[in-house]
Structures are given as C-alpha cells and as structure tokens.
Chain A
Amino acid sequence: MNSNHEYITYFILSLFNKDSPLSSAQLIHIFHGRRTPSMLFKVEREKLYTPFGLFKTLTKDKLDQYLNELIKLKWLDINENNGYILSDNGSLALEKYFSDKDYPAKIASLENATIRTPFFYQFQLVSQIFSEAIYSNKQYRPTIKDPIHQTAVKEWLATLDESLHNLSKCWSNELSLVLENLTEEEALILVWKLTGHELVGKTNRQLAESLSLDTVELYILLNQAIEQLIDLIEKSEYTLLKSFLHQTKKNYYYGLSRSTYLTASYIRKGNNLADIALKRNLKLSTIQEHILEIALVKQSFNFRPFIPEKIYIQLHQSFETNPYFSFQKAKQENSNIQFMWYRLVEIERIRNESISN
C-alpha cells in the first residue's frame, strides 16, 4: 500500500462491516454529505457520522481506486447486492492498524455535520479579531477572507453590547476553560490552528507533521475536535462562546437543510403536516421527507406525534417478531401504512438498539 494514502485507505476500509453491503455510489454520497432521507438513514443505521460530508472534493474515480486496492488485498468482498462487505482478512487488518492509534469515533450524530466547517472558519476569525483587540492592533489582515464568514462575524459582534477589549478578555477566559475539557491532543490541534496577533496558525499539514500523523488523520481529528468543542460549548454556561455558537447554528439552519428548517418552524408553531404542505405549496411527501430529515439529524426530536398510536404499536410488534420486517411486508399487512411511519419506527429501533448495546 502506498504510504502516502495509508491512513485514508484504512479509514475507508473501517466504514464497511460484515453484514450490510455498502456501495461505492453510496459511500461517495456520504463523503459528499448528500442529504436525501435514504442516505441519512444509511448513515444512521451504519453509524457513519464521521465520514458524512468529510471529503466533499473526493471524486468517485479516486474512491474507486481506493476500493479496488482493498479488493485486491482481499480485505473487501463484493456482495451480491452490488456493494462491498468487510472480509475476515480486512477485519484483521483493521484491528492491527488501529491497535496503536485511536479510531476516530467521537462524532455521534449528524446534528453538527453542516455546522462544523462554517463554525470553525468563523471561530478562527473571531479568535483573531479578539487576539488583535487585546493587543490594541487594528492594522491586520483577516485570516478568513470569505465575505460570507466575515459578514456573519460582523453581524454577531454587532449584537454584543460590550467593548471589543472586554469581549476579548471574556473570550480568552471562556476558551481557556472550555479547552481544558478536551483531550490534550484535541486542544492542541484547535489552538495551533488559530492565528492572532503576530502569530500565524499552523496548516493541517504542518500540524500533522508536528504530531507525526498522516494529513488525513489530522483532518479527521480536527473535525472530531471541532465537534467536541461545539458539544462542550452547547452544554456549558460560557455566555460568549454560547452566543457565538447559537448565531452560527441559526445561520446554518441548526444543521438542517433550509427547506426542512422552514418546515420545522411551521411544526413549532403547531401546524400539522397537511397544513404545512398547503402553506408551503409543497407535496405532502416532501414534508414527510422533511420530518425524516429532522428525525435523523436531531436526535432529540420527538416524532411520536407524527405516527398514529395504533400503527406505532403494530410496527413495533412486527419488528419484534421479524427484525428484517420490510416496508413491502408492512404494506401487505396494512395498505394504509405510510413510509414515513415505517421509517420513523425503524430509526427509533436502531437508536434503542445502540443504547442497549
């Protein structure tokens, strides 16, 4: 195996298992962060949260090259359902490779998948603004140049009723404290990415070199560290960091697609699905897909009100008798059953299984 892409090859291998086949087309959609309900469900079922949206520029051809290499090594077997499954040899190879390094498994939901990247761009910009403010320097060039991020930060700062100097002190205080709750490696990666007064942050490649890691490994760890940071801020009482995070989440529709977010807003106001479809001039099936997206992205979303009680019980019973109970079968048993009800119960079962495991 070429040592230049050793880590990514093993990482890709680790996304397969022995039971559920995963195709190259599905995997590229996952890497690109495609948000169809079926893709989100696949991610949920296989717990593929970390790779979701991770390599947006990876091409299908390149992915196929990696997969062909794994097939040649007989670490992946071709499954009859047009996908690949992990072979016994592949399983052993994975065990060996990750025996002396941590496997990145800390991203445990899809909630921040679309938030992580803009959050960290804006986090870097705010950190630089505050660092320069503490040194009373106005003559600097921002490290984040994208006007979308610059405008978002400017708008957030405008909401704060405090001097830049005081805010800077508060930011550095809160940041110091929150970072103490991360692992040493995560804190190091995040802090050394930051640029501030007369200090230029490190690039991913430079950080990887300093930590003797592969660049892809570093990139995945950085994503994981950002996720941890978001979670810690969310759970904390650090007002400034929290205000910043909430502004970012708001700008990025709380991790949902824009249309789904609008549907969620109607739900919050007490509208039923048919009303929402009417008001938004959309098909009912589209609104039902939105419900599935909300359920898959927001683990705290209570979707029980969207399934008739009788159907809910009936579906659970059927799954108890037959864990492979299909929608086709459900439809045969009750022709009125809707796919959304079936899928929501399936999601609930998967999550309950994970908890009990």
Chain B
Amino acid sequence: MNLSVIEQTLNEKFGFKEFRPGQIEAIEAALQKFDTLVMLPTGSGKSICYQLPGYLKEGLVLIVSPLLSLMQDQVERLKKSGERQVAALNSLSSSNEKKRIFNNLNKLKFLFISPEMIQYDFVINRLIKVKIALFVVDEAHCISQWGMDFRPDYLKIGEVKEKLNNPVTMALTATATNRVRDEIKDSLKMDEEQTKEVIYSVNRDAIKLKVEICEGNKKEKLKEFVRNLQKPGIIYFSSKKLADELAQELRSELGLSVESYHSDILTDDKIKIQQQFIENSVQIICATSAFGMGIDKSDVRFIIHYHVPSNPEMYLQEIGRCSRDGKDGIAILLFEYGDQFIQKRLQEDALPDKSLLSYVYKNYHKIKSNQEDPRVQIAQYYQKSGIPLSIAVRQVEIRERLKSEQLDFMMQYIKHKGCKRNFILKYFDEVIDVKPDKCCSSCNPSLEECFYKYEEGSIVRNKVDMNWRKRLKELYKIDDESIKTRKI
C-alpha cells in the first residue's frame, strides 16, 4: 500500500503527522499479511500499530486484551476520536450488550475481548462467520510463563487462532526477553517464515536511572527528593497503607497536592484522581502498581520506587510512565536493607502451594467461585481449565523459581556499582553502544540535582472556594438571567 495513504490515515484518524519509531514497520507488515511480533517500549504508541491497519483493511480487528480497565480505556479513546464501531466483550458485558455486539459483528471495526471470553464456543462460532482483518494479542508477554504477568488463559489463544482459521496476527508487548518472545511466537503458532519482528530496545534514553541506598532514613530521603524534584511525579509503593501515610505526610509537611491511589480507593474517586493528575491539579501520586495502565500523561518528570519492584519487566514498565514527551526525567529506586523480604513475602502470598492446590482440586465443588484470596483463585483456575494437578504443581514451582530469580536480579541491579542502564538492559539481552547524557547514578553520582527545580506555585496549595451554587453554574453554564427565566 502507498505510504502516503498510510500517512494520510495517520493524520485523519489519529491527528499525527509522523510515525513514531517502529509503528510504520508494524503497520506495513500487517498490511502485507505478515504475522508480526511487535515489541515497542512503554509509551511509544503501540495501539496505532493495529488500529491504523484496521482502517485500511476490510473486516474486524479483534483485540485480545488482559485487563478490563485497559480494554475500557482503549474503547473510550477510540470513541473519543470519533470511532463508533468499537465494543468490548468481557465478563462485565450485560446480556443485552453481548446480544448487541453479536448482532452488529459485521459492522464493528474494533472488538476488544478478554482472553477467557474468546475461548467460549458460542463466541468462536460467531467470530468464525465474520471476516477478521487482524487478530491482535495485546500485552502478549502474558502468554509466557517467563513473563511478569503470566495468565494461564492466554495459553489457549493459539488454539483459538486456529479455530478462527489463522487470521493475520499481531502480538504486542513492551518488555519481553528473547525467551519470552520465542514463547509468544510458539504459543501463537506464528510461522517463523511468515512472521516479521519489529523489536525496539526497551531502553528509554530520556529516563535517567538512580538507585539510592538508605540507612534508616528512607522517608526523609523520599521527602528530600519530592521537595526538590520537578513535578509531576509518581511514587510507587508495595503497601496501600504506606501509600496513604506518605501521601498524607507529603501533603501536610510539604504542602503539595498529593493523592494516594490503590485498590481501596472508590472506583469513581480513582477516575477523578487520574483526571486531576492529567490536568495537573494533582502533582504527585502515591500509588501501588494499580496506577498507570492506560494513563496517558506525557510530562511525568519523576518516578520513585519506595519499595523494590518484583522484577525488571515491571520496573521498566512503571518507570516507562516517565518522560513520554521525550524530555528528560528521573527514575529513583530507594532501597533499604530488608526491603527484599517484603517482596519475598508478597511473592509467597501470590501463588498457591502444593497443599492448597491439592485441596482445591479435591474439594472444588465445595469452594465458592468468588474467592478473595488470589492463591485460591489461581488454584481454581487450574482446576477449572482441566489442567492435571501434577502439571499445575509443576507450573507453580516454575513460577516461584522464576519470581525468585527475578527478585535476585533486582537486588543485583541495586548493588551493581557499574552503569545501571547497561546492567538492566542485559536482562533483556541488550547492550547500549552510546550511553546517553546523565545516564545513571553510577555514571553521574549527583544525577538527581540535574532535576531539582524550585517551583513557587507548588509550595502552597490554592484554597478552593467551595460555593456549590457557583460550581453548579459553572457545570451547566447557568447565568443569573437564565435562572430567572427558566421554568420547569
């Protein structure tokens, strides 16, 4: 297809004049009917890689997406850009919504679907009847047991693809090692000769890396960084309680506009916090890993990790929310001896052990389906999927070992005296030829000072006039005259 047509579509549908690195290769591969494995770093515009071909090919773009919130977010973005023929099919869809989707399948352009939903025969039987322009597997690293977010139900997507008569496939991920990429191709039954790989480095030069070793002074160090660093920024915690506590301390002691964000915050309040962060009325978010997916904010200037992340993939994904505008930003990892044990404990709490798996397999009919404990949920998943107990036990053991190795790698990263960037990239089988300016805290010991900025406005928060009548007038463009004349 003519490049100018593709560029014109980019401009018309997405409002961009130029492609970002990797996008055009992925788009052209899909248009030429090649299966494609796309690895582009966080914030590089991966969704355009499958959305744009959708406009140039006849048929439905079917996107398997692992997270309901991410799915919802993508649907809203497309709708906001004027696309009406888009829908999401998942466990939250009402029966009416499902009916509406199936009745309009031929008219739909984009259908986001959860991995568990796409496995149902009644869904496959409907999908077989429509022309699928592109079969997309988003966050494809979930397929891999070696990836950070292994989802057992992703394993069956390859079979689904075959049942759908092997449509042209695009698998997307932001962070995957060679081993994970091989597993994705294998699981999705992507033919080596018919598959193109668009692999870009996970490295982001604009994000400078710092590790700060603390000795009983982590809170003070955090406050020092937050006080001085240019904002906005995100601070990641492993604990909801600490996220709340530190947010409160940063508000009261530094007078900053700070909010905590985690699973205990009410759903509508979460959206408000996201929106306030995007429009800069909130400067800092103290979050657990629940925050970030689908947040499109280009000017985040720092990411601080108060606790060591569980693995390098997650670390890169979370710091990838910094500097999306291409301007420099800093990622600081605070470490204090003993932090690794918090992560170890969290890992232990995340997977079922052999006795729990055996118990669930034996007593599955007695256990209610809506279990809160994630270990029971995972055990139930294995049981329901018909995976033999011995294999489930083995898979869990593999996951445990992997998690332990990943945490060990993070510990080595923290302790490494040489270039931090070089070290973390080795995990992804990458090397850098030319180090960026202000590369990391090993290459530049006073790195953080390059990002210190006194911000006058940030010290005292503006007092808001809480007059509800005035607010209502602003919400509904009500003027005094119209109040007098309006009648019900």
Task: Known A146-B92, A203-B273; judge A141-B80 contact (CB<8 A).
Answer: yes
The minimal Cβ–Cβ distance linking A135 to chain B, given in whole angstroms, is: 6
Q: Is the CB of A188 within 8 A of B265?
A: no
Interface size range of chain B in the complex: 35 or more
Judge whether B369 is part of the interface by a CB distance below 8 angstroms.
no
Task: Known A134-B477, A173-B488, A192-B466; judge A148-B92 contact (CB<8 A).
Answer: yes
The minimal Cβ–Cβ distance linking A240 to chain B, given in whole angstroms, is: 9
Q: Is the CB of A176 within 8 A of B478?
A: yes
Contacts of B275 in A (CB 8 A): 141, 143, 195, 200
Binary contact track A164-208/B, C-beta < 8 Å → 1, others 0: 000011111111110100001001101111111101111111100
Q: Is the CB of A121 within 8 A of B483?
A: no
Judge whether A130 is part of the interface by a CB distance below 8 angstroms.
yes
Q: Which listed residue, B77, B80, B269, B486, touches A204 by the CB 8 Å rule?
A: B269
Contacts of A203 in B (CB 8 A): 259, 265-266, 269, 272-273
Q: Which listed residue, A142, A147, A197, touches B97 by the CB 8 Å rule?
A: A147
The minimal Cβ–Cβ distance linking B249 to chain A, given in whole angstroms, is: 12
Judge whether A57 is part of the interface by a CB distance below 8 angstroms.
yes
A-B contact count (CB 8 A): 114
Judge whether A139 is part of the interface by a CB distance below 8 angstroms.
yes
Binary contact track B240-278/A, C-beta < 8 Å → 1, others 0: 000000000000000000010000111111011101100
The minimal Cβ–Cβ distance linking B302 to chain A, given in whole angstroms, is: 23
Judge whether A266 is part of the interface by a CB distance below 8 angstroms.
no
Q: Is the CB of A124 within 8 A of B268?
A: yes
Q: Is the interface of A mostly helix, strand, loop or mixed?
A: helix
Cα separation A137 to B422 with both chains bound (whole Å): 48
Count residues of A near B (Cβ-Cβ below 8 Å). Answer: 54
Judge whether B290 is part of the interface by a CB distance below 8 angstroms.
no
Q: Which listed residue, B77, B272, B488, touches A170 by the CB 8 Å rule?
A: B488
Closest to A210 in B: B466
Judge whether B8 is part of the interface by a CB distance below 8 angstroms.
no
B88, B96, B259, B488 interface centre (most CB from chain A within 10 Å): B488
Question: Which residues of chain B in 46-89 are interfacial with respect to chain A, using CB atoms and an 8 Å cutoff?
Answer: 69, 72, 76-77, 80, 88
The minimal Cβ–Cβ distance linking B310 to chain A, given in whole angstroms, is: 25
Judge whether A96 is part of the interface by a CB distance below 8 angstroms.
no
Contacts of A195 in B (CB 8 A): 272, 275
Judge whether A306 is part of the interface by a CB distance below 8 angstroms.
no
Q: Is the CB of A199 within 8 A of B474?
A: yes
Judge whether A151 is part of the interface by a CB distance below 8 angstroms.
yes
The minimal Cβ–Cβ distance linking A309 to chain B, given in whole angstroms, is: 44
Question: Which residues of chain B in 463-488 are interfacial with respect to chain A, using CB atoms and an 8 Å cutoff?
Answer: 464, 466, 468-469, 471-472, 474-478, 483, 486-488
Cα separation A130 to B476 with both chains bound (whole Å): 8
Judge whether A94 is part of the interface by a CB distance below 8 angstroms.
no
Judge whether A103 is part of the interface by a CB distance below 8 angstroms.
no
Q: Is the CB of B468 within 8 A of A192?
A: yes
Q: Is the CB of B267 within 8 A of A200?
A: no
Q: Which listed residue, A139, A200, A238, touches B276 by the CB 8 Å rule?
A: A200
The minimal Cβ–Cβ distance linking B252 to chain A, given in whole angstroms, is: 10
Task: Known A57-B264, A205-B259; judge A147-B88 contact (CB<8 A).
Answer: yes
Cα separation A291 to B402 with both chains bound (whole Å): 57
Cα separation A116 to B72 with both chains bound (whole Å): 24
Q: Which listed residue, A131, A192, A205, touches B476 by the CB 8 Å rule?
A: A131
Binary contact track A113-153/B, C-beta < 8 Å → 1, others 0: 00000000100100100110011000111111111100100
Q: Is the CB of B476 within 8 A of A188?
A: no
Task: Known A169-B486, A194-B475, A203-B259; judge A143-B271 contact (CB<8 A).
Answer: yes
Cα separation A131 to B474 with both chains bound (whole Å): 9
Q: Is the CB of B273 within 8 A of A147?
A: no
Q: Is the CB of B268 within 8 A of A191?
A: no
Binary contact track B271-309/A, C-beta < 8 Å → 1, others 0: 111011001010000000000000000000000000000
Cα separation A197 to B276 with both chains bound (whole Å): 13
Q: Which listed residue, A145, A147, A210, touches B93 by the CB 8 Å rule?
A: A147
Cα separation A184 to B470 with both chains bound (whole Å): 13
Q: Which listed residue, A147, A169, A211, A239, touches B94 by the CB 8 Å rule?
A: A147
Contacts of B94 in A (CB 8 A): 147-148, 151
Q: Which listed residue, A121, A147, A192, A237, touches B471 by the CB 8 Å rule?
A: A192
Q: Is the CB of B92 within 8 A of A172?
A: no
Cα separation A83 to B488 with both chains bound (whole Å): 53
The minimal Cβ–Cβ distance linking B471 to chain A, given in whole angstroms, is: 5
Q: Is the CB of A172 within 8 A of B476?
A: yes
The minimal Cβ–Cβ distance linking B128 to chain A, given in whole angstroms, is: 25
The minimal Cβ–Cβ distance linking B18 to chain A, given in whole angstroms, is: 22
Contacts of A141 in B (CB 8 A): 76-77, 80, 275
Task: Known A151-B94, A204-B269; judge A145-B475 contact (CB<8 A).
Answer: no
Task: Known A147-B92, A203-B269, A203-B273; judge A168-B488 contact (CB<8 A).
Answer: no
Closest to A188 in B: B468
Contacts of A57 in B (CB 8 A): 264
Binding site for B on A (CB under 8 A): 57, 121, 124, 127, 130-131, 134-135, 139-148, 151, 168-177, 179, 184, 187-188, 190-197, 199-206, 210-211, 237-239
8 CB < 8 A contacts A-B = A145-B69, A147-B92, A169-B486, A192-B468, A194-B471, A204-B266, A205-B259, A205-B269
Beyond A172-B472, A200-B276, 18 additional pairs, beta carbon < 8 A = A121-B267, A140-B80, A141-B80, A143-B272, A145-B267, A148-B94, A151-B97, A173-B486, A173-B487, A176-B483, A191-B475, A200-B281, A201-B272, A203-B265, A203-B266, A205-B259, A205-B269, A237-B488
